[in-house]
């Protein structure tokens, strides 16, 4: 099975990326291919990079409070490029009610501060295995 490709991004003006780097390292240690785009990325930059890199997952790290705008925008832009199969997940300082609202819009599970990285790794691996099984069943191979 090929490695899961994860694009980790910091959208918006938030200048703190320690958490994103810890997550990127944990995903890499778990055998995933990780592309880290760095700080101050626009939703357009993130979506374009995800499509160009053929990402399976976009992990957004948001501490700025702009999650209700930035996360749906990234999803909209990725879908506009024909990639509605990419899991959009992430974490940061996001109130539970906002996490629930975003998940109701089709965003993947979101993680708060202090979540063990193993939870995120397991979530992504489980999601990917489900997607691969679905795709195999569709193609009949």
- The pLDDT score that the predictor gives to residue 138 is 83
Distance CA 120, CA 111 (A): 8
Both tokens of residue 114? 């202090």
- The pLDDT score that the predictor gives to residue 14 is 80
Distance CA 31, CA 122 (A): 12
Residue 137 has pLDDT above 90, yes or no: no
Residue 39 has pLDDT above 90, yes or no: yes
**Which among 63, 91, 86, 56 is positioned nearest to 74, based on CA atoms?**
86
Q: Which long-range contacts (CB under 8 A, 24 or more apart) does 96-100 make?
A: 98/67, 98/68
- In this prediction, residue 1 has a pLDDT band, given cuts at 50, 70 and 90, of confident
- The pLDDT score that the predictor gives to residue 141 is 60
Residues 53-110 pLDDT 10s: 999 999 999 988 999 999 999 999 999 999 999 999 999 999 999 999 999 999 999 9
The domain of 55 spans 5-139
Number of domains in the chain: 1
Residue 127 has pLDDT above 80, yes or no: yes
Angstrom CA distances, 108 to 11, 15, 88, stand at 17, 24, 5
Both tokens of residue 80? 């506009």
Q: What CATH number is given to the structural domain containing 12?
A: 3.40.50.280
């Amino acid at each position: 099975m090929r490695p899961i490709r994860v694009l980790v991004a910091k959208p918006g003006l938030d200048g703190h990326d320690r958490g994103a780097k810890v997550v990127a390292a944990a995903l890499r240690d778990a055998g995933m291919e990780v592309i880290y785009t760095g700080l101050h990325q626009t939703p357009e930059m993130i979506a374009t990079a995800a499509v160009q890199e053929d990402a399976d997952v976009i992990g957004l790290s948001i501490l700025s409070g702009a999650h209700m705008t930035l996360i749906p925008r990234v999803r909209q832009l990725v879908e506009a490029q024909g990639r509605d199969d990419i899991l959009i997940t992430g974490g940061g300082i996001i109130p539970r009610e906002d996490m629930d609202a975003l998940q109701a819009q089709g965003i993947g599970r979101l993680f708060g501060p202090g979540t063990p990285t193993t939870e995120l790794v397991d979530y992504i691996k489980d999601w990917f295995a489900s997607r691969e099984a679905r795709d195999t069943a569709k193609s009949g191979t």
